[in-house]
A and B are shown apart, each in its own frame.
Chain A
C-alpha cells in the first residue's frame, strides 16, 4: 500500500508532547468552530485564474517528495550505483595495473574470471570457511545475546544497569581497538589467555602462538567478532522482550507452562521478528568480515586466513588482478543476497503500511 504513515503517538519516550521552543505555533481552535484551511500566509488568490494556480500548486505538491529525495538518490546513484555497475563490468573485463595507470580500456574477458574462480578448489575452500565462520559467529552471538537479554529481566536493577553500562562500553569500542586488545590478550609471551589456560592442570600454553594453527587463530578472531557483536544483539533483543505482555506470560504460567516451554511457546513468538532481524544483520556483517582478520594478521593474512572479503581485497590490491577481485566481490554480494532478502522482508513486514 502506498500510503504515508498514519500519525502515531511519539514512539520515543524522550520526545516531548509539545514543541519545546518558545514561539512555536500551537493548536488554537475554538471548540465547534469549523476548521478552515487557509492558504499559506492567507494571501488572497488572484480571482482571474484560480484553476491554473491550483494546478500549479498541486503540481508542486506532487513534485515535493521527489525534490526531497533527489539529493539522496543522486548521491546513491553516483557513488554506489555507478560503482556497482562498474564492479559488474569489471568482473567481465581484464583490468590490471597497466590499464589502471594508462587509462586504456581493459580487454573484454567475458565469463573467463567466473569460470576460473568457480572451478578453483581454493575458492570453494574459502567459501566453505566463510560460511562456517559466519554460522559459528552468528550462532554464538545470538545464543549469548538471548541468554543475556533473558537474564537482564531477572536481575536486580543495579545489576541490570551494570550490564547495560558494560554492553554499551563494549559496543563503543572501535573494531581496530577491539582487535588490538584481543591480539594482546592472546599474545604468545605475556598474553593473559595463555596464562589462564596454563592454570588448568595438564595444559601447557606458555609461549603458545595462537595463530600458528588457523583453527585456533580463527577462534581468537571469532572471539573479537562475537565480543563486539553481542552488545547490539543483546540490547535489541532486550528491547523486544520488553514488548512481551506480562499478562501473556502470567496466563501461560497459570496454565502450568514453565521454563523452556514458556519461552518456546509464549515469549519467543512475540520477539521472533527482532530475532530474525538481528540474525540476518549479524550474518551479513560476519560474512563480510575483513578488518579483524586484517589487523590480527598484521596486514598480511596467510592463505589459511582468507575469507571472501580478504580474498577479494588481496586479489585486487596485492596481486593487482582487479577483475578477479571484482568477480569474487560480485559472487560474495550474490551470496549475501539471501540474507538481505530475509532482512528487508522482515523490516517491510514490521513496517506494516510500507
Chain B
C-alpha cells in the first residue's frame, strides 16, 4: 500500500468512527433524555434552555409513579400474562418446531405457509372478532383471555424460531441415542432439549418482551383497572397527569426496565436466532 492511500484509509477510518459515534449519540439521546428527566427535579425539567447534563438527582418522580393506586396490580398482571404466554407457547411451539425440523409429512408445506402467513395479519385488524369470541367464551376482562390471544400471535414466531435452532442440532446425535437404546422421547429429552436450551431462552425472552409491550388488545380486553397491564398504566398515567413529564418518564423507565435487562442478556442469541432461524430459513 502506498503512503497516500494509507493516509486516505486512515482518514476514512477516522470519518467512519466519527460518523458511527455521532449516530450512536443521536440514537441514544431519547433514552438518555428519558432517564435524565426521570431522575431530575421539576425545576430542572422545566428549564429553558434545556440542561443536558445531570444536576441534582431525585427519586420523587419514581415515588409518585409507584404510588399510583394500581401500579403493583398492573405489574402483577403484566408478569402473569407474560409468564403464561411464554410457558404455553414454548410447550406447544417446541412440539410443532420439532415436527417441522425433523419430519417430512404431507401438509408440511401448507403448515409452513400458515405459520409464515399468520405473522402478517395485523393484530389491530382482528381485535373485533377476537373480542367477540372471548366475550362469547366469557373470557373478557380475564388474564386468561389475554394469554390465549397473545399465545396465538406469538406461536408462529416461536415455532419458526425454534425450528431454526432444532435444525442446527445434528440429527445424528439423536440417532446415536436411539441406537444406544433411548426411545424417541428419551432422545429428545436427553439430547435435543439440553442443546436447545439457548434457543428456548432466546425465544421465551422474545415472546415475553412482545407480551410486555402489547397495548391494543390488552386495552380492549381488560376493563378493570387492577387487571390492566403496564402499557395501559403508562398511557393512562400520561393522560391523568397531563404534562407531568417527570412522572411520565419515571413510569416509562419502570416499564422499560425489565425488558431492557432481558434484552441485554439475550440480545446476541435473539439476533443470531433471527438471522439463522427466521431469516436464513
Contacts and interface: CB of A to CB of B under 8 A. Distances in A.
A350 B113 CA distance: 14
Contacts of A298: 238-239
Contacts of B59: none
Interface in A258-291: 274, 277, 284, 287-288, 290-291
A299 B216 CA distance: 11
B122 interface: yes
Interface stretch (A121-129, A133-141, A210-218, A339-347): A339-347
Chief secondary structure at chain A's binding surface: helix
A15 to B, nearest CB: 6
A195 B49 contact: yes
Contacts of B100: 69
A27 B174 CA distance: 9
Interface string A83-99: 11011001000000000
A39 to B, nearest CB: 9
B24 to A, nearest CB: 4
A239 B279 contact: yes
B53 to A, nearest CB: 13
B149 to A, nearest CB: 6
Nearest to A325: B128
B121 A84 contact: yes
B138 interface: no
Contacts of B183: 40-41
Given A72-B159, A80-B118, A288-B124, A7 B31 contact: no
A29 B100 CA distance: 29
B57 interface: no
Given A12-B273, A79-B152, A332 B170 contact: no
Nearest to B107: A66
Nearest to B259: A172
B222 interface: no
Interface string B166-196: 0111111100111111111001001100110
Contacts of A42: 181
Contacts of A205: none
A322 B220 CA distance: 13
* Chain A: number of interface residues, binned into ranges: 35 or more
B122 A336 contact: yes
A26 B256 CA distance: 44
Given A37-B179, A343-B116, A170 B16 contact: no
Nearest to B260: A172
Interface residues of B, number: 129
A168 B24 contact: no
Contacts of A15: 165, 168-169, 195, 198
A20 B50 CA distance: 54
Interface in B101-116: 101-106, 108-109, 111-114, 116
B273 A180 contact: no
Contact of A24 (B112, B114, B191): B191
Main secondary structure of the interface of B (DSSP, over half): helix
Given A10-B170, A28-B180, A174-B213, A72 B23 contact: no
A326 B128 contact: yes
B183 to A, nearest CB: 4
Contacts, number: 378
B3 interface: no
B234 interface: yes
Contacts of A189: 46, 243
A257 interface: no
B216 A294 contact: yes
> In the complex, which of the residues B108, B128, B215, B279 has the most CB atoms of chain A within 10 Å of its own CB atom?
B128
B116 A176 contact: no
Contacts of B191: 19, 24-25
Contacts of B167: 5, 8, 11
B245 A190 contact: yes
Given A71-B95, A294-B216, A339 B120 contact: yes
A114 interface: no
Nearest to A75: B152
B17 A159 contact: yes
Given A21-B194, A288-B124, A298-B238, A166 B37 contact: no
A40 B93 CA distance: 26
B129 A86 contact: yes
Nearest to B186: A40
B20 interface: yes
B176 to A, nearest CB: 4
Contacts of B195: 15-16, 19-20
B20 A344 contact: no
A354 B12 contact: no
B179 A162 contact: no
Contacts of B123: 288
Given A25-B187, A168-B267, 19 more contacts: A7-B172, A24-B191, A27-B173, A42-B181, A68-B99, A68-B103, A87-B128, A152-B20, A156-B17, A172-B209, A174-B255, A176-B252, A180-B34, A181-B252, A274-B279, A284-B122, A332-B122, A347-B278, A348-B113
21 contacts: A2-B105, A4-B101, A4-B103, A10-B168, A14-B268, A83-B130, A86-B133, A87-B125, A170-B31, A180-B234, A180-B252, A181-B31, A181-B249, A184-B34, A192-B33, A239-B272, A284-B120, A288-B124, A299-B235, A333-B122, A354-B112
